[in-house]
Amino acid sequence: MLKSPFLVVALVVDLTIQLLGTPARAEAWEAPFQGPASQGKLVLSGQATQGVDWSSLLDPAQTGDILFGVVLKGPSPFEKDADRPFAPASTSKLFTSALALDRLGADYQFSTWLNWRVSRSTGSAVALDLEILGSGDPSWGLREVESEPFARIDSLVRALQDAGIQEIRGPIQVRSRDPRLDTTEAPGSWDPADLTHCYGTAPQGFSVAENCSTLRVSSPTRAEFEEPGIPTPVELKIQNGDRTELELEWVQVRGKPQRLRVKGTWHAGDSKASIDVPVLDARSWVRNLFLLSASRQGIRLGLVAAPESRTDDENRSLELRSPPLRAILPGQNKRSVNGVAESLLRTVGSSLSIDPTEPLLAASRRALRGYLDNLGEGARAAQLLDGSGLSRGSRTTASAQLELLEHARQAPWFEALRDSLPVAGRDGTLGSRMKGTAAEGHLQAKTGTLRGFYQLAGFADGVPFVILTQAPPELRPQAHAAQDRVGAKLCELLQESASPRP
């Protein structure tokens, strides 16, 4: 791998370390536990009916230690506290996915443009004042669509070469078509600690490999990024100690993060340590990576300024398109990549906002609010403050989630949504759950986890279901087990009802 000439400090690492004050990705917030809950009821066309004892499957010991919000469809319908509010966590991505599919379409492609001018004085093989113009594409280096993290950068360079360009002169500008995309704006309802982790990378106009980098620390005074071209300045404030414990924080200048500070202690016997670090200046990273790729692929980088523009200069442009949205969504939903969800929400907000002065986060929330209001009465009660579910202030209900899933089943883009979801016992965040049960390979659902909230919503053999929970963090395994029992039983019933009878 190329070593970057843009590194601020140097470093190398390979040790699992404890980050002080750093919550795990899936446990970002401790929720207050609330009770009591109702016993639940079997329902069919609004009437109680006989069927599976779902309440016992949810809580076999009837302890009431876990709160549930449940709506099940199928042969034995069931509801339990369907209108009780819960933090949706990453099941928010179901709403974001549906909004993007509905407003943009399953075959929507993000565009990136290369713009430059040619002059008679330098010839058509020299690109002057090159501009890389983006549209918020979150798929660069996304493993679901590209095998190499910097493949899209290399493709931009090859496109220039195919256009006959052999040299670039003048500054290279990197910007978004909608300038608001270039404003790094994390929802205020996120925990500030999220921004020091790759799962909490603030949305930006460009995204390379999910805007996540690896900082390798080899001593209290030595560190380097594993990836080339990272523009992040790093300040090391590490003291020798009995063990290695490192903490990250962003140093703010005029209210904006400007450099990364690594604090803590270092055990002299440790040789290496690795820390994932979000990239907050993706445009500079794109520029640096482009320069490295162009140099590696044989394009000369002119050290002299480009000649001034003349009336007989010719402007040229190339457009490169991303894979379709249906191919991008599995990265968001199967692996639950928050950055993709935030980018999609902002893209919809940008496409629907007619006021270029309206903050993009506000425009995006307005687009999502309008979508919820049109889904139905249950969805109108939902309060979603971001696209990914990291927001601690978001609330939804099982009824709201069910309305969304019912709407999706009738939509032309249903297969794109369904196929983007984790499959029980097979892949994504459900890869290790419900193995060997009737749900394996048949249940496709989005998981969601914030500390104290553990959610599951999706489709069992195409039939929608929602199981929302709130529980003390130590009962997270029990909450998952309850969901898995219900999911497996639901799939069993559906498969039995679909089997021909003698």
Average pLDDT over residues 137-163: 97
Q: Which residue has the tokens 């039939």?
A: 463
Q: Per-residue confidence at 354, pLDDT binned at 50, 70, 90? A: confident
Does the pLDDT at position 352 exceed 80? yes
Does the pLDDT at position 362 exceed 50? yes
Return the pLDDT at 30. Answer: 42
Return the pLDDT at 303. Answer: 66
Q: Per-residue confidence at 174, pLDDT binned at 50, 70, 90? A: very high
Return the pLDDT at 60. Answer: 94
Q: Per-residue confidence at 150, pLDDT binned at 50, 70, 90? A: very high
Return the pLDDT at 47. Answer: 36
Question: What backbone phi and psi angles, to 5 degrees, belong to 25?
Answer: -55, -45
Return the pLDDT at 356. Answer: 87
Q: In angstroms, rounded to a whole number, what is the distance separating the alpha carbons of residues 419 and 459? A: 10
Return the pLDDT at 252. Answer: 86
Which residue has better confidence, 139 or 4? 139
Quote the pTM value: 0.89
Three-class SS state of 288: helix
Q: In angstroms, rounded to a whole number, what is the distance separating the alpha carbons of residues 326 and 107? A: 6
β pairing state of 167-169 and 123-134 = parallel
Q: In angstroms, rounded to a whole number, what is the distance separating the alpha carbons of residues 224 and 10? A: 4
Question: What backbone phi and psi angles, to 5 degrees, belong to 39?
Answer: -80, -20
Average pLDDT over residues 157-161: 98
Average pLDDT over residues 94-111: 98
- To the nearest whole number, what is the mean pLDDT of the chain? 89
Q: Per-residue confidence at 288, pLDDT binned at 50, 70, 90? A: very high
Average pLDDT over residues 290-300: 97
From the list 468, 458, 326, 448, the residue with the least C-alpha distance to 387 is 448
Return the pLDDT at 39. Answer: 55
pLDDT in tens, 430-475: 999 999 999 999 999 999 999 999 999 999 999 999 999 999 999 9
Q: Per-residue confidence at 46, pLDDT binned at 50, 70, 90? A: very low
Taking a C-beta distance cutoff of 8 angstroms, is the pair 131, 319 a contact? Answer: no
Average pLDDT over residues 342-362: 92
CATH number of 41-106+325-498: 3.40.710.10
Return the pLDDT at 68. Answer: 98
Q: Per-residue confidence at 183, pLDDT binned at 50, 70, 90? A: confident
Q: Where are the alpha helices (DSSP H) in 309-359?
A: 325-333, 338-352
Please state, for a pLDDT cut of 90, what percent of the chain lies above it.
Answer: 78
Does the pLDDT at position 402 exceed 90? yes
Return the pLDDT at 15. Answer: 34
Average pLDDT over residues 70-78: 96
Average pLDDT over residues 47-64: 81
Q: Is 137 left (phi over 0), alpha (psi -120 to 50) or beta?
A: beta
Return the pLDDT at 13. Answer: 33
Indicate the domain borders of the chain: 18-23+109-321, 41-106+325-498
Q: Per-residue confidence at 125, pLDDT binned at 50, 70, 90? A: very high
Does the pLDDT at position 119 exceed 90? yes
Does the pLDDT at position 137 exceed 90? yes
Q: Copy the structure tokens of residue 160.
A: 């220039």
Listed ranges 12-26, 121-135, 243-257; the one with the highest mean pLDDT: 121-135
Return the pLDDT at 501. Answer: 57
